[in-house]
Amino acid sequence: MAAAGPHIEVRDLTMAYGDRVIQRDLNFTVGRGDILFYFSMINDQPTGDLNMGIKTYGRYYPWAAAEGIDPDDPHGITQLARPHIASDTHKVARRYIRCYELLEHCFYTEAFIVAFSILDDLVQQMLNQLLTDKGMVSDGEREELLRGIKEKRLRIFLGPLLKVLTGKDISTMWPGSEKALDWLNKTRNQLAHSGRKADYATAAKGIFACVKTLTVLSQNKMLEADFTVEFFRHSKITAAWTENAPDWVPSGSLAESMDFNS
Asked whether the beta carbons of 195 and 109 are under 8 A apart, the reply is no
Q: Chain-centre distance of CA 178, in angstroms?
A: 22
Supply φ then ψ for residue 48, to 5 degrees.
90, -5
- Round to whole Å and give the CA distance between 60 and 48: 28
Q: 3-state class of 20 per DSSP?
A: strand
Q: How far is CA 241 from the centre of its chain?
A: 12
pLDDT the model gives residue 85: 74
Given a cut of 70, the residues of the chain with pLDDT beneath it are 1-4, 17, 32-72, 74-75
**What count of other Cβ atoms lies within 10 Å of the Cβ of residue 140?**
8
Number of residues in the chain: 262
Q: How far apart are CA 97 and CA 211, in angstroms?
A: 11
Q: Is-above-0.75 flag for pTM?
A: no
| 3-state DSSP assignment of residue 38 | strand
Write the pLDDT tens digit of every residue in 106-120: 999 999 999 999 999
pLDDT at 71: 62
Tens-digit pLDDT profile for residues 141-153 = 999 999 998 888 8
One-letter identity of residue 17: Y
Residues near 95 by Cβ (< 8 Å), separated by ≥ 6?
118
**Cβ atoms of residues 47 and 40 within 8 Å:** yes
